[in-house]
C-alpha cells in the first residue's frame, strides 16, 4: 500500500465537514476511483474525521487522511497520512510549525511508514485554504514551476500538489509545474466537475483529485472523471 499510491491516477476527496449519505459513499467507492482522501480546511475535528472514516472504512478502498492540523493526524484505520506543507506562504506554521507541534504532542507514536509529505502550492486566493494559510496565490506559471522544482529537487517531497481548491485552474500553470518536476508525483485538485476537465488536467498531472463535484454534481459526474483518466 505504501508504494501503490504512486500509481494512482484518480483520488476522491471527501470533507468531514460536509454531509454525505451512505448511498453516495457506496456510489463513490464503486466509481473506479483509486483511493479516498479524507480532508478539509474548516471545522474539521477528530470527531467528524472519525465519523467519516467509520462510514467509508468497510468498503476496501485505500484510505488517506490529509490532516488540517496536528489534532486530526490519526493513524488508526487508515492506510496513509498525507501531510501538507504550503510552499507559497510566508507563514512558517504551514510549512513546518504545525509539523513540529505534531511531533511534540505525538510522544513517539507516529507511524512513519504511513506518512507521505506533500508540497502544496495553493493558487485560489478565495479558497479557505488560501485564506487560512496566507498563501500568495496570484503568481505566475514560472513562479509555480520554481516552487515545484524547489519542492521536488531541493526538499525532495514525494508529492507536489497544485491546489486550486474549488475553482478550475490554468492548465498552462499545471503544465509548467509538470515540466519542472523530475521525481515527485504531481497532484492536481480544483474544479474538476466534468470528463473534459479531468482529461485536460490529467494530461499534465499524474493524479487528479475530485472533491466538490461529489457534493455539487453527483456521483455520475465522478464516474465520468474516473473514465476520463483511467
Compute how many other C-beta atoms are within 10 angstroms of the C-beta atom of residue 104: 9
| Structural domain spans, the chain | 4-229
Of the candidates 175, 183, 190, the residue with the CA atom closest to the CA atom of residue 141:
175
Is pLDDT above 70 for 18? yes
Q: Is 163 annotated as a binding residue?
A: yes
User: What stretches of 2-79 adopt beta strand conformation (E)?
Assistant: 10-14, 35-39, 63-66
CA distance 228 to 48: 32
Q: What is the pLDDT of residue 71?
A: 80
* Ramachandran class of 96: left when φ > 0, alpha when ψ lies in -120 to 50, beta otherwise: alpha
Q: Is 192 annotated as a binding residue?
A: no
- What value does the mean pLDDT take over residues 68-87? 89
DSSP secondary structure letters along 95-130: TTHHHHHHHHHHTT---GGGEEEEEEEE--TTSHHH
Q: Is 15 annotated as a binding residue?
A: yes
> Which CATH fold topology does 4-229 show?
TIM Barrel (3.20.20)
- What value does the mean pLDDT take over residues 168-190? 98
Q: Is 91 annotated as a binding residue?
A: no
Cβ atoms of residues 159 and 188 within 8 Å: no
Q: Is 7 annotated as a binding residue?
A: no
209: enclosing H helix or E strand:
strand 207-210
CA distance 84 to 115: 10
Q: Which residue has the cell 476511483?
A: 33
pLDDT in tens, 94-139: 999 999 999 998 888 899 999 999 999 999 999 999 999 999 999 9
Q: Is 109 annotated as a binding residue?
A: no
Q: Is 41 annotated as a binding residue?
A: yes
Q: Is 107 annotated as a binding residue?
A: no
Kindly indicate the confidence band of residue 223, based on its pLDDT and cuts at 50, 70 and 90: very high
- What value does the mean pLDDT take over residues 58-81? 87
Q: Is 164 annotated as a binding residue?
A: yes
Quote the mean pLDDT of the chain: 93
Q: What is the pLDDT of residue 3?
A: 56
- What value does the mean pLDDT take over residues 29-38? 94
C-alpha cell at 96: 513546518
- Which alpha helices (H) appear in the chain, and where do they start and end? 22-29, 46-56, 97-106, 128-133, 141-149, 171-180, 195-202, 212-216, 219-229
Q: Is 77 annotated as a binding residue?
A: no
Q: What is the pLDDT of residue 68?
A: 83
Q: Is 211 annotated as a binding residue?
A: yes
Amino acid at each position: 500500500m505504501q508504494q501503490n499510491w504512486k500509481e494512482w491516477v484518480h483520488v476522491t476527496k471527501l470533507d468531514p465537514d460536509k454531509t454525505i449519505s451512505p448511498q453516495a459513499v457506496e456510489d463513490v467507492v464503486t466509481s473506479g476511483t483509486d483511493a479516498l482522501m479524507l480532508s478539509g480546511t474548516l471545522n474539521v475535528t477528530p470527531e467528524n474525521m472519525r465519523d467519516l472514516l467509520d462510514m467509508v472504512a468497510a468498503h476496501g478502498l485505500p484510505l488517506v487522511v490529509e490532516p488540517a492540523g496536528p489534532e486530526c493526524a490519526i493513524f488508526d484505520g487508515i492506510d496513509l497520512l498525507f501531510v501538507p506543507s504550503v510552499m507559497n506562504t510566508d507563514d512558517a506554521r504551514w510549512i513546518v510549525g504545525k509539523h513540529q507541534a505534531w511531533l511534540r504532542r505525538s510522544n513517539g507514536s507516529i507511524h512513519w511508514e504511513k506518512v507521505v509529505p506533500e508540497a502544496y502550492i495553493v493558487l485560489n486566493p478565495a479558497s479557505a485554504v488560501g485564506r487560512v494559510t496566507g498563501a500568495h496565490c496570484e503568481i505566475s506559471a514560472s513562479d509555480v514551476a520554481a516552487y515545484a522544482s524547489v519542492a521536488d529537487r531541493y526538499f525532495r517531497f514525494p508529492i507536489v500538489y497544485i491546489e486550486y481548491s474549488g475553482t478550475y485552474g490554468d492548465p498552462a500553470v499545471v503544465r509548467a509545474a509538470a515540466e519542472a518536476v523530475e521525481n515527485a508525483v504531481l497532484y492536481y485538485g480544483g474544479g474538476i466537475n466534468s470528463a473534459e476537465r479531468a482529461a485536460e488536467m490529467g494530461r499534465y498531472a499524474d493524479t487528479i483529485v475530485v472533491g466538490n463535484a461529489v457534493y455539487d454534481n453527483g456521483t455520475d459526474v465522478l464516474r465520468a472523471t474516473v473514465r476520463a483518466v483511467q
